[in-house]
Amino acid sequence: MCGIVGYVGKRNAAEILIDGLKRLEYRGYDSAGLALKTDKGLLILKEVGKVADLERMLQDRAPVSNQGIGHTRWATHGGVTLANAHPHKDGSGRFAIVHNGIIENFMDLKEELERDGVVFISETDTEAIVHLIARFYSETGDILATLVALQKKLRGSFALAMIQQDFPDRIYCVRKGSPLVIGSGNGESFCASDVPAFLPYTRNIQYLDEGDIAEISLQGIKIWDENGEPSEKPVVTVDWDVTMTEKSGFSHYMLKEIHEQGMVLRSTLKGRTADGRISIDQELGWDAETVSRWDKIHIVACGTSYYASLVAERVLEKWTDFDIKVDVASEYRYRHIRCDSSTLAIFVSQSGETADTIAAQRKARSEGAHCMAITNVRGSTLAREVHSVMLLKAGPEIGVAATKTFTGQMAALFLVALQLGRLRGTLSPEEEERLINEFLQIPYKVELLLEREQEIRGLAMNYADKSNFLFIGRGISFPIALEGALKLKEISYIHAEAYAAGEMKHGPIALLEPEVPVVAVIPRDGLYEKTLSNIQEAKARNAPLIAICTEGDTHIAKYVQAVVEIPWTDEEFTPFLTVVPLQFLAFHIALLKGKEIDQPRNLAKSVTVE
Ligand code: G6P
């Protein structure tokens, strides 16, 4: 968690850094700070709260500086206080650093430094790093040697940006275990935790590898590996543009991102099917021989990405003949699930930086699995470590609660399932063509649903005062119930549970009463009648019912207080549609309750610590 940014150039660094921090605020928003290089030395400015609070404080004070580093914090070591806010300085005040990650041997380092007389003024692990830098630099007089020695001393994950009062026009960065990208413009250079931070200024990116050290300066970029050997990194031009990181007239990023889902599906499908056939052979590099080596599929993810994986599990079961296991990364990495060279292990992560998902991938890889990533971020740690990658074409997602990337992940996983079904011979060409034809209709059907936002807003007004919700669904609709409940609790702080509808009788039915609405995801599919029975059980306990059902379902209205109809589609594709009303429901309930929708309390978009 935490976002870091650095700038060296000719423009007003404070403005660029604040702008960059706002674009990184999805990574944490407990406190924010800058270190600016001025004629009088380093100026450190910090504020508890959001980047906007820091910006307000800067209005009358920021000196003109063309070089600096910035940080937005999600607290790990030490509470949310001014002293713990980054940047942190060494005792002499000549070095300042910002840090994303966790230093695991921080207590040992702190004790060692304190024995040498160093005085700590914060509770952070970061402060130990800056004191170590100052110590190594005073011993070697060489910054590269200092940063090489520093890496050998630190255990844990870190992305650092460092500024030194006496170094002319340059910032140093180190990346190990936490994301850091470098951007080069015309006579100016940037570093940041994520590309959107500097997207208004450059799209030319260099991705650092584990252990890399970079110098960003007016003259350009220099990169070394962890041993201090020069390292060449290709400059990649990203296809994101700055409008993708703006709200474009919407009140919230989340709302904008919900409305982008038709477009996301269209771009994720584009060029990946041709004439009714799946066409991703080259992208994945698999052929019939490759997939004949596998008999198991593991899908591993966290949060919303896990729910997209649960949807995919049901589709893979239907279209292929593999043994399939789906698990959350924080469990998978510590379990003893059989994993070997006959396993295709798919890791699903919007950011490609979730610590547990990365660790799970490393475990599966070490056991011989073929590892694949499905991610939205090219150049992310996960994307760079696996054997095969499929990128979502969702554009940057800024709202902390994932919406459009959930849809994009399901689409990417469906493409993989179609490809596996074809290569294994478990899907006939006719069936493949029929499925692809329907898949290509889904973006239009999603857009039809998006037009019904006001209807769902009306529904939200009737239920926003409730304190508990139950979401139910069966089969492929069960993960959608889970996702609907997650969205509601994340952004409105209402307690919401999701159950496989058939499990309701084994516990949650005891909670039902007129104050507990039940949201039933019940499209017309093979399990319709079964879910309908569960709805009747809930009705008999006087729970108010909302049904997400298929258009033309006149039957269900007899049992429920409210219906939201989705366009007709095949059973497999219903999740792309049933999830949309649930996203709107969560959004509008949170809006009515006056919550901070894009930045819910205690959450961060990218969880880079275990
Ligand atoms: C956090 C975010 C969620 C996200 C999850 C997994 O909890 O708040 O929105 O689903 O991490 O993130 P990933 O980037 O791995 O998909």
Tokens 């969205």 sit on residue: 487
Q: How many residues does the chain have?
A: 610
What is the pTM assigned to this prediction? Answer: 0.88
Q: Is 339 a catalytic residue?
A: no
Residues 6+ apart with CB under 8 A from 588: 456, 457, 459, 460, 461, 464
Choice among 22, 37, 176, 605 that is catalytic: 605
**Hey, what are 159's tokens?**
């992305």
H or E element in which residue 11 lies? none
Decide whether any atom of ligand 1 lies within 6 Å of the 597 Cβ. Answer: no
564 touches ligand 1 (CB under 6 Å): no
Q: Which residue has the tokens 């700055």?
A: 242
CA–CA gap between residue 226 and residue 49 (Å, rounded): 35
Nearest-angstrom CA–CA distance, 356 and 373: 14
Q: How far, in Å, from the CA of 485 to the mean position of ligand 1? A: 15
Cα angle, residue 448 at apex, residues 444 and 449 outer, rounded to 5°: 120
Picking from 525, 524, 522, 496, the residue whose alpha carbon sits closest to that of residue 511 is 496
Residue nearest to atom 1 of ligand 1 (CA): 605
What's the DSSP call for residue 177?
B
How far is it, in rounded angstroms, from Cα 464 to Cα 594? 11
| Superfamily holding 453-592 | Glucose-6-phosphate isomerase like protein; domain 1 (3.40.50.10490)
304 in contact with ligand 1, CB cutoff 6 A: yes
d(CA 101, CA 110) in angstroms, rounded, equals 17
Terminal C-alpha separation, the chain: 10
Say if ligand 1 is within 6 A of residue 599 CB: no
Contact assessment for residue 571 and residue 523, using Cβ atoms and an 8 Å cutoff: yes
Residue from 396, 415, 437, 444 nearest 577 by CA: 444
Ligand 1 pocket residue status of 603, Cβ below 6 Å: yes
Q: How many A from CA of 424 to the centre of ligand 1? A: 32
- Cα(298) to centroid(ligand 1), Å: 19
**Residue 399 identity:** G
Question: Given ligand 1 and candidates 311, 347, 351, 597, which is best to mutate, with the most ligand atoms within 8 Å of its CB?
Answer: 351
Cα angle 383, 384, 388 (rounded to 5 degrees) comes to: 60
Q: How far apart are CA 570 and CA 556, in angstroms?
A: 19
For a substitution probing ligand 1, which of 376, 606, 609, 610 has the most ligand atoms within 8 Å of its CB? Answer: 606
Tracing tokens 């205690």 back to the chain, one arrives at 602
Distance 378 CA to ligand 1 centre (A): 16
Distance 401 CA to ligand 1 centre (A): 8
Edge-first strand order for the sheet with 31-38 is: 41-48, 31-38, 67-73, 3-8, 189-192, 181-184, 204-207, 236-237
Ligand 1 centre to CA of 175 (Å) is: 21
Helix (H) or strand (E) holding 106: helix 106-115
| DSSP reduced 3-state for 507 | coil
User: Which residue among 304, 332, 380, 596 is best mutated to probe the pocket of ligand 1, counting the most ligand atoms within 8 A of its Cβ?
Assistant: 304
Strands (E), 84-188: 88-89, 95-103, 156-164, 170-176, 181-184
- At the fourth CATH level, the homologous superfamily of domain 3-245 is Aminohydrolase, N-terminal nucleophile (Ntn) domain (3.60.20.10)
Q: Is the peptide bond before 581 cis (omega within 30 degrees of 0)?
A: no
Measured in Å, residue 84 CA sits from the centre of ligand 1 at 25
**What is the whole-number distance in angstroms between the Cα of residue 457 and the centre of ligand 1?**
26
Which residue ranges make up each domain of the chain? 3-245, 253-440, 453-592
Residue nearest to atom 4 of ligand 1 (CA): 303
Instruction: Kindly report the protein residue whose alpha carbon is nearest to atom 8 of ligand 1.
Output: 605
| Architecture per CATH, 253-440 | 3-Layer(aba) Sandwich (3.40)
* Ligand 1 atom index nearest CA of 302: 6
Give 10-residue mean pLDDT values along the chain (610 residues): 93 95 87 93 92 87 87 84 92 95 92 94 93 96 97 93 93 93 94 93 93 94 96 90 84 96 96 92 92 97 98 97 97 94 97 94 97 93 94 91 97 97 96 96 97 95 96 97 98 96 90 93 94 92 95 92 96 98 98 93 80
Confidence (pLDDT) at 508: 86
**Contact in structure between 127 and 121 (CB atoms under 8 Å):** yes
List of E strands, 213-253: 213-217, 220-224, 236-237
Residues near 211 by beta carbon (within 8 Å), at least 6 away in sequence? 151, 175, 176, 225, 226
Q: In angstroms, rounded to a whole number, what is the distance separating the alpha carbons of residues 538 and 551?
A: 22
Ligand 1 lined by 381 (C-beta under 6 Å)? no
Please work out whether the CB of residue 402 comes within 6 Å of at least one atom of ligand 1.
yes
376 lines ligand 1 (CB under 6 A): no
For ligand 1, whether the C-beta of 303 sits within 6 Å is yes
605 lines ligand 1 (CB under 6 A): yes
Ligand 1: centre distance to CA 92 (Å)? 39
354 lines ligand 1 (CB under 6 A): yes
What span, in angstroms and rounded, lies between the C-alpha atoms of 118 and 131?
Answer: 8
Ligand 1 contact via 330 beta carbon (within 6 Å):
no
Q: Is 399 in the pocket of ligand 1 (CB under 6 A)?
A: no
Pocket-testing residue among 2, 27, 254, 305, ligand 1, by greatest number of atoms within 8 A of Cβ: 305
Q: Is 487 in the pocket of ligand 1 (CB under 6 A)?
A: no
Same fold yes or no, 3-245 and 453-592:
no
Cα dist from 418 to 245, 272, 433, whole Å: 32, 11, 10
64 contacts 105 by C-beta, under 8 angstroms = no
Tokens of 46: 């910090």
d(CA 187, CA 477): 53
Alpha helices in 228-354 (DSSP H): 253-259, 261-269, 281-284, 288-292, 303-319, 329-332
Residue 266 identity (one-letter amino acid): R
2 annotated active-site:
yes
Q: Check: CB of residue 48 under 8 Å from CB of residue 93.
A: no
CA of 539 to the centre of ligand 1 (A): 34
Least Cα distance to 174 among 184, 163, 160, 153 occurs for 160
Among candidate residues 2, 302, 339, 371, the one labeled active-site is: 2
146 close to ligand 1 (CB < 6 Angstrom): no
